[in-house]
A and B are shown apart, each in its own frame.
Chain A
Amino acid sequence: MHMADALISPAVGGTMWAATAGLIAYSSKKVKEAMDDRKVPLMGVLGAFIFAAQMINFSIPATGSSGHLGGGMILAILLGPWSAFLVMASVLTVQALFFADGGLLALGCNIFNLGFFSCFVAYPLIYKKIVGDNPTQGKILTGSIIAAIAGLQLGAFGVVLETVFSGISDLPFRTFVFLMQPIHLAIGVVEGLVTAAVVTFVWKARPEIIDAAIFSKPIGQIDIKKVLAGLLIAAAISGGTLSWFASANPDGLEWAMFRTSGKEELESHEKVHASLAGVQEKTAILPDYGFKKTEPEAGSGEDLKPSWPAVDAGTSAAGLAGGAMTLLMAVLIGWALRKRSAK
C-alpha cells in the first residue's frame, strides 16, 4: 500500500508532508523529553528488525499466497506510540530511498497512512483498552487483531482519499474503496494474528519485556485532541498555500471539489485561476478538459477557457518528432559533459 509519486498531486503530497513533518517533530520532542538513553539503540535496532523480519515469509494455507510482518503494531506495543512512529517513519524513508518502494513526495502520505493510524489511533484507542495492565493470551490476541484491522482499514482509506484528491488516477472513489477495504481486511487479519503470536511468544519466553513495555509510561498519555488539532492547523496552512499551486492545475484538488460539491472552484480563486490557467493553456499540448471543445462550435470567446489550438495530425507528428529530439539532445549533452569531465 505504498503510494508512488506518479499518482500524487503537489497539493496532496505537500499537505501530507507538512502533517507528517509535524508529527515527526512532535514525536522527536516527546522522545527527547523522555530522556531514556536505552531507547536510542533499541529503536534503531528494532527498525532494522522490521526489515529482517519482512524477509521471512510464511505460506497462508489454501490460498497459495504468503504473508509477513508489517510492523506498525508490534513496534507500538514494544516501544509506545511516539518512538514507534519515528521507527516506522525511518523504515519507510529507507524503503523509499533504496527500494523505490513509494516515492519521495509520497513519503508524507506513506508515513501517515502506515504510521499515524496504527501508532496514534489503533494502539492507544483499541489495543491498550483491550489488553490493559494484566495481559492474557486471549486479550493479546483479540487486541492485536482488532487493532491491526482498524489500523490497516484507516490506512487503506487514507490511500483512497489521497489518490482521489490527487486526481491523476481515474479510479472512481466507490470502486477504489470496494477494492482496497476488503483486501486490507484480509491483510489486517494476517497482521493481527502474526503480531499476537509474536507478542505472546516473547511474553512467554521473557515476560519482563512485555511487562516493562506495559508499565513504562515515561512519556505520558497521548492527548489525541491535541494531535488532531495540530494536524488540522498544519493541513489548513499548507493546503491554503498550496492551493495557489493547485490552481494552476485544475485537475487536482479542484477536480475532487468539483465532483463533491459541483463547484469547480472557490470564488476567491477565480482571478488567480483565470490568469494562471491562461499561462497553462498556452503551454500545454494536451489540455485536460479542452479536448471536447476542439470542435469549431466550442470556440466561443466569452468562455472562461479560450479555445484550444486544434489538435490535428500535423501537430501530433511535430510533437512526436520534437519529443524524440529532446530526448536525444539530453543524452548527447550528458555524453558531452561526461567527456569533458573525463579530461
Chain B
Amino acid sequence: MTSQGFSDVGYIDTIAAGDSPLHRIDPRAKLITTAAFIATVVSFNKYAVLGLVPFFSFPIILILLGRIPAGYILRKLLLILPFAILVGIFNPIFDRAIIYHIGPVGISGGWISFISILLRFVLTVTSALALVALTGFNSVCLALERFKVPSPFIVQLMFLYRYMFVLTEESERMVRARAVRSFSGRTMHFKTFVSLIGHLLLRTLDRAERVYRAMCCRGFNGDIRILRSLRISLKDIVFVIIWVVLFISFRFWDAPLKLGELVMGIFP
C-alpha cells in the first residue's frame, strides 16, 4: 500500500461528488444492481469466455454515462493485474487437455479458463470501483444501513473512513521524518519500525480519547444518529429491473455467438 493509493481514495470521493443521471440513482439501487452483476458473472462455468463479453456493457455504460475518468479505472486495473495473472496462471499448467482448435493451433482448457479468470477479474473489479465512484463511501454506508446491517458496524465503517486519511498522513510524516534523519540508510530496521508503530499506536489511543471527549461535549450518549435522506423513486426501480433483466438474458442467451453467426451468414 502506497501513499499514491490513498490520494486515489480521495480522488474517488471527488468523482462521487459529481453529477450525472447515474450519480442521482439511489445508492440502494446501485448496490443491488452491482451485487446482481457480480453474482451473475461468477456463476458462469469456468471455461466461459464469449458468454462474459456482453457483461462488459455494464461497467462501460457506467463509466461513460457516469463520466468516470476511464484512465483512472484502467490505471487501477493495471496495478492489480499482476495478482490476477498470478492466481490464474496455474490453470494452463495443470489443465493441458486440448479442447479447442483455431486452424492448426490447439488451445488447452487451461488457457481458456485462464482467459475466463482474467475477464471475470476485469468485470468484477471495474464494476465495484464504478459503484464507489458513482456513489461515494458514505452513501454506500447509508444504503447498507437501510438494508439492516447492524448499526455498530455502519458506525465503525464511517469512523474508519473519517480517520483513515488523518492517521495515514500522520504515519507518512513519521516515515518522512525518519528518512531525512537517516542519511543513506534507506532500509528500516526492526527496532526503528517497532518504535515508530508503537508511537503511532500510542498517539492513536490518545486521539481516540480526545475524540470521545469531544463527542461527549456534543451530547454523545452511545447512539450515533445518521441523517437519512434516501428516497427511492420510480427511475431507481426501473434502473434495477432493466439491468437485472439484461444480466439474466446475457446469462442464458448467448448473444455474441448468435450475432456472429448472423454476420457470418450475410458475409460468407
Residues of A bordering B, CB below 8 Å: 4-10, 13-14, 24-25, 27-29, 31-32, 35, 37-38, 40-49, 51-59, 69, 86-87, 89-91, 93-94, 96-101, 103-105, 167-172, 175, 193-194, 197-198, 201-202, 205-206, 209, 245, 248-251, 279-280, 283-288, 291-292, 311, 313-323, 325-327, 329-331, 333-335, 337-338, 341
Stretch at the interface among B171-179, B228-236, B237-245: B171-179
**Contact (Cβ within 8 A) B159 A41:** yes
Contact with A along B11-47 (1 / 0, CB 8 A): 0100000001100000000000011001101111111
**Besides the known contacts A7-B117, A86-B156, 10 further A-B residue pairs in the complex with CB atoms under 8 A apart:** A6-B42, A41-B208, A46-B208, A48-B162, A56-B200, A168-B116, A201-B197, A322-B261, A325-B256, A334-B60
**Contact (Cβ within 8 A) B152 A31:** yes
The 4 closest A-B pairs by CB, nearest first: A44-B159, A322-B260, A28-B150, A201-B198
**Contact (Cβ within 8 A) A194 B194:** yes
**Contact (Cβ within 8 A) B87 A40:** no
Most chain B beta-carbon contacts within 10 A, residue among A48, A54, A96, A330: A48
* Cross-chain contact of A291 among B5, B99, B125, B168 (Cβ < 8 A): B99
**Contact (Cβ within 8 A) B88 A47:** no
Q: What is the interface of chain B mostly: helix, strand, loop, or mixed? A: helix
**Contact (Cβ within 8 A) A103 B43:** no
**Contact (Cβ within 8 A) A13 B42:** yes
The A-contacting residues of B in range 46-68, CB under 8 angstroms, are 46-51, 53-54, 56-57, 60-61, 63-65, 67
14 contacts between A and B (CB under 8 A): A7-B117, A10-B42, A42-B208, A44-B160, A44-B163, A94-B157, A194-B194, A280-B45, A284-B51, A284-B254, A285-B50, A291-B100, A326-B54, A334-B65
For residue B64, which residues in chain A have a CB less than 8 angstroms away from its CB? 331, 334-335, 337-338
A44-B162, A59-B187 as given contacts; A90 in contact with B168, CB under 8 Å: no
* Cross-chain contact of B159 among A40, A251, A341 (Cβ < 8 A): A40
**Contact (Cβ within 8 A) B5 A99:** yes
**Contact (Cβ within 8 A) A100 B80:** yes
Rounded to whole Å, the gap between the CB of A334 and the closest CB of chain B is 3
A10-B43, A105-B42 as given contacts; A43 in contact with B156, CB under 8 Å: yes
For residue B48, which residues in chain A have a CB less than 8 angstroms away from its CB? 284-286
> With A and B bound together, what is the CA distance between A69 and B256 in angstroms?
47
* Cross-chain contact of B43 among A28, A49, A248, A279 (Cβ < 8 A): A248
**Contact (Cβ within 8 A) B256 A45:** no
> With A and B bound together, what is the CA distance between A170 and B71 in angstroms?
33
Most chain B beta-carbon contacts within 10 A, residue among A40, A69, A96, A333: A40
Q: Chain B contact residues (Cβ within 8 angstroms of A): what range? A: 35 or more
For residue B207, which residues in chain A have a CB less than 8 angstroms away from its CB? 45
> With A and B bound together, what is the CA distance between A10 and B121 in angstroms?
15
For residue B197, which residues in chain A have a CB less than 8 angstroms away from its CB? 53, 56, 69, 194, 198, 201
Rounded to whole Å, the gap between the CB of B29 and the closest CB of chain A is 16
Question: Is B74 engaged at the interface, CB distance under 8 Å to the other chain?
Answer: no
**Contact (Cβ within 8 A) B39 A10:** yes
**Contact (Cβ within 8 A) A56 B188:** yes
> With A and B bound together, what is the CA distance between A74 and B2 in angstroms?
22
A51-B1, A97-B140 as given contacts; A9 in contact with B95, CB under 8 Å: no
> With A and B bound together, what is the CA distance between A168 and B160 in angstroms?
34
Which residue on A lies nearest to B77, using beta carbons? A100
For residue B259, which residues in chain A have a CB less than 8 angstroms away from its CB? 321-322, 325-326
**Contact (Cβ within 8 A) A53 B159:** no
* Cross-chain contact of A279 among B5, B112, B252 (Cβ < 8 A): B252
A44-B162, A103-B38 as given contacts; A330 in contact with B195, CB under 8 Å: no
A37-B222, A249-B44, A330-B60 as given contacts; A48 in contact with B110, CB under 8 Å: no
> With A and B bound together, what is the CA distance between A90 and B163 in angstroms?
13
Rounded to whole Å, the gap between the CB of A243 and the closest CB of chain B is 13
Which residue on A lies nearest to B126, using beta carbons? A100
For residue B143, which residues in chain A have a CB less than 8 angstroms away from its CB? none
> With A and B bound together, what is the CA distance between A37 and B50 in angstroms?
54
A169-B90, A325-B260 as given contacts; A45 in contact with B161, CB under 8 Å: no
For residue B263, which residues in chain A have a CB less than 8 angstroms away from its CB? 318, 321-322, 325
For residue A4, which residues in chain B have a CB less than 8 angstroms away from its CB? 83-84, 87, 121, 124-125
**Contact (Cβ within 8 A) A283 B51:** yes
A49-B200, A333-B61 as given contacts; A5 in contact with B124, CB under 8 Å: yes
For residue B46, which residues in chain A have a CB less than 8 angstroms away from its CB? 167-168, 251, 288
Which residue on B lies nearest to A294, using beta carbons? B99
For residue A38, which residues in chain B have a CB less than 8 angstroms away from its CB? 208-209, 212
> With A and B bound together, what is the CA distance between A325 and B50 in angstroms?
11
> With A and B bound together, what is the CA distance between A315 and B100 in angstroms?
11
A7-B117, A103-B38 as given contacts; A170 in contact with B95, CB under 8 Å: yes
For residue A8, which residues in chain B have a CB less than 8 angstroms away from its CB? 42
Contact with A along B116-131 (1 / 0, CB 8 A): 1110110011001101
